[in-house]
Amino acid sequence: MLDPDRFLDEVAARDAGIEPPEFDIAELDTNGESHTAAVAALEGINARARVLIADEYAGIAEVLRDAAACPDPWVGPDPTLDPAWLDPQGRSTAAVRAERRDIAVRAAAMDLAVRLGMSENMIRTRAANAETLQTRCPKIWAAFRSGRIVAQNAATAAAQAATLPARAKDAWATFDEQLEKSAQTLVPGKFRVRARVVRERVHPEHIDDRHKRAMDERNVWFQPEADGMASLTVFGAADKVLATYRYVDAHARHLRAQDGEERTLAQLRADAALDCFAAGISAEAEADTSKSPAWRSRAAVAMTVPALTLLNEGDEPATLDGYGPIDTETARRLAGEASSWVRILTHPVTGTVLDVDRTTYQVPNALRRWLGVRDQVCAGPGCTRSARDCDIDHRLDWQYGGKTADTNLSPLCEQHHVIKTKSKWVLYRDDITGAKWWVTPTSLTLPVEPPPF
């Protein structure tokens, strides 16, 4: 006989103030009972995990709310409280205080990100989802906090509810009511469809008006992947994106039907899409007989060359600026197409830079390129934005005597540059070893790991 206590509804028991008993699945005999008991145990574990995730959402939101309400621990004392204060930029008191709140929230999110091992974007997203569910979907939020809804469905509901107009409280209530049950029963894939349909039904604005606004958000994202691969994501008008996909799919299927074709349909779709891009660029370049604009010119290659490889006695991989290690064939092709070079010679054991070729650009540009090769990405904690897309920050501010030298410069993306300049986050550097580290407003020390991390 199975012990009925092992199959208690853990969520119901916990709601009633009863802690379900603990037991060891490994003690059960392999007679069929193990599966039943394991399922019951895993369901309990899953319910507890859901509750903990919901608690984490609530805790993150509380920290960021507190930072907005009391910015001083994150950005220092409020200068606007001084009767003699005047803003150097001529801003109003309200504008300065609003900026302080914003920077405090961002500084707090950075602190949570490094402490919880998450990205800053995930921290901000979870806080926003918690706020949205608390204010717009209280029924879904209550079910999430009690462990009856998986985190994916809670996030989906929050993302859809956040797109409803701020004043459409009736739409919020209807959305919450219609999705409360399905959020508990549908798997994430089907719930995403359901939530999107319900959102469309309850939205008070016509889709034509919403589409015009959404078109302003169209974009393309590049994402490096493993093994010399990458992804390209396009967000745009549905008709154009779908038409493009169908064209690529039809072209791939046509090629698949040819004799001797061995590529899979998935491979053919990828090849067809990239060929279309390449063909369009080539055709436009041939049609333009004038001087090619900067975006159409061939890329300058920054190559890091270990000394042994330079002597044909090593096989260290080449590094593509803005991506990372690439295969030898691709490196050779890019080298043949490159219009200019920056040569970096490194020590074969320590990796210390031995020589930098600065003949390609004027000194400021060459120094910036050297910093991009040395640091590769933003020096902000956890940030992977390419150094070439970052500001070059004076670690010790220029107005306080900081030099424009590689020992005092680091790439920082716009977001981390602002945090470093206007919050209590501080970036330090050891002048002897070159090691850098951050100290957070909560006194946590974070080393800046040199690439490749």
Domain that holds residue 201: 10-205
Q: Kindly report the backbone phi and psi dihedral angles of residue 218, in degrees, each rounded to the nearest multiple of 5, phi listed first.
A: -60, 145
For the chain, residues with pLDDT lower than 70 are: 1-33, 280-366, 398-402, 451-453
In this structure, the answer to whether residues 324 and 399 fall within a common structural domain is no
Separation CA 365–CA 345 (nearest Å): 19
Tokens of residue 288, six digits: 């333009």
pLDDT at 7: 43
Q: Which residues contact 218 (CB under 8 A, 6 or more apart)?
A: 235, 236, 237
CB 373 within 8 A of CB 344: yes
pLDDT at 345: 53
Residue pLDDT, tens place only, 41-97: 888 888 899 999 999 999 999 999 999 999 999 999 999 999 888 888 889 999 999
Asked if residue 364 is part of any domain, the answer here is no
Asked if residue 240 is part of any domain, the answer here is yes
In this structure, the answer to whether residues 228 and 97 fall within a common structural domain is no
In this structure, the answer to whether residues 230 and 188 fall within a common structural domain is no
pLDDT at 369: 75
Tokens of residue 426, six digits: 């501080």
In this structure, the answer to whether residues 200 and 234 fall within a common structural domain is no
Asked if residue 23 is part of any domain, the answer here is yes
In this structure, the answer to whether residues 180 and 31 fall within a common structural domain is yes
Q: Sheet containing 436-439: which strands, arranged edge to edge?
A: 426-429, 436-439, 445-448
β partners of residue 436:
429, 448
Separation CA 400–CA 397 (nearest Å): 5
CB 20 within 8 A of CB 8: yes
Asked if residue 282 is part of any domain, the answer here is no
Separation CA 442–CA 65 (nearest Å): 17
pLDDT at 298: 44
CB 110 within 8 A of CB 440: yes
Separation CA 97–CA 103 (nearest Å): 10
Residue pLDDT, tens place only, 344-397: 555 555 554 444 444 433 335 667 777 777 788 899 998 888 887 888 888 777
Asked if residue 309 is part of any domain, the answer here is yes
pLDDT at 24: 57
Asked if residue 370 is part of any domain, the answer here is no
CB 313 within 8 A of CB 305: no
In this structure, the answer to whether residues 15 and 163 fall within a common structural domain is yes
Number of domains making up the chain: 4
pLDDT at 363: 33
